[in-house]
Chain A
């Protein structure tokens, strides 16, 4: 279901160009607005659709197999931690869904430098960072001594 950009909504800000994992959202040389240069490499991951501040990007299902007249639109609200979907069928039926996307504030993940550095013992062990604590069990399991090495 490749993406397309509404002429009346796009103001050429470049967010979609920046985010597209496939490098297919680019700037049209006549209007200086975004468009999908390679729909056959579009996975319809909706990254650009979600990133567009003007909601200028939409999706039309792949012509190979999707009849016209449908609409699946999304509103991702980072500050609220929500994503909202509105689905309209070709025959007019509608479904709506809202889901959470994150339970903590954006930017709140720790930097390793905020934590004590590794000890030599930890370094030499099989434990990964913050284990065994982060495993929520007492010790990292091992097969040491149980396998003919």
Chain B
């Protein structure tokens, strides 16, 4: 079941060209949506103005090498290891959804572009990676949805209350869930049910990618930039924060 490429299975009715174009259009939606969002909100303008003001206040201006190493540190710690999350359950849930989504996307692209029809033998690991990725997103995502979301855990709202900030995670969870269900029903031969889940899968995925201007999707691009700026600010002294205390130097009282 988990070794069957579901995209190849439906390539007779939905041509590989259509599937490939769908993926390309979704990618354009993400890029375009993010760009539109930045221009419309003037957030890029704010970022660069703020960057300039802060660097002008630097007490220890950084050299190119230092900046580069901070960029690498940001990429490794804050992005790849989800280091910005200060609470362990949130961090773990994010790691699961982050890497799960990447694995699932890579597997989707490879299956649709390189093995789109049944006659091209899809290596077993690709569908397995696809299902594994989807499962990781579901575990991390549903855990987040019901137990970790701050507006539920700290504000006492019902887990079923929907706010605009939920658009991204709801469409993501629905997309991978319906995709997962479609793949399984497709492989087990339940054709009617498979078509039903396929339709919902396409709908949820389209909302996920086309909804970028209204959802928190684009924050996955903003946050690394913000984390990088924070690291630079702390290193070059342009921060307003007091430094960590040297408790041996508390001042005479």
Q: Judging by beta carbons under 8 Å apart, are A8 and B250 in contact?
A: no
**Using a Cβ–Cβ cut-off of 8 Å, how many residues does chain A contribute to the interface with B?**
38
Q: Judging by beta carbons under 8 Å apart, are B163 and A32 in contact?
A: yes
- Given A29-B163, A80-B247; A55-B241 close (CB under 8 Å): yes
Q: Judging by beta carbons under 8 Å apart, are A27 and B151 in contact?
A: yes
The stretch of B83-91, B128-136, B202-210 in contact with A is: B83-91
Q: Judging by beta carbons under 8 Å apart, are B150 and A12 in contact?
A: yes
In Å, the complex CA distance between A27 and B249 comes to: 38
Q: Judging by beta carbons under 8 Å apart, are A28 and B250 in contact?
A: no
In Å, the complex CA distance between A77 and B243 comes to: 11
- Given A12-B150, A32-B150, A53-B86; A77-B216 close (CB under 8 Å): no
Interface residues of B in 96-155 (CB under 8 A from A): 149-151, 153-155
- Interface flag for B242 (CB, 8 Å): yes
In Å, the complex CA distance between A49 and B230 comes to: 17
In Å, the complex CA distance between A45 and B154 comes to: 20
Distance (whole angstroms) from the CB of B89 to the closest CB of chain A: 10
- Interface flag for A17 (CB, 8 Å): yes
Q: Judging by beta carbons under 8 Å apart, are A9 and B230 in contact?
A: yes
Q: A86-B242, A98-B249 are in contact. List 20 more A-B contacts (CB 8 A).
A: A8-B222, A9-B230, A11-B85, A11-B86, A13-B150, A14-B150, A29-B164, A30-B165, A31-B219, A32-B151, A32-B216, A53-B86, A55-B241, A73-B241, A75-B242, A75-B244, A80-B247, A82-B247, A86-B240, A98-B245
7 contacts between A and B (CB under 8 A): A8-B230, A13-B87, A32-B165, A77-B245, A84-B242, A85-B242, A100-B250
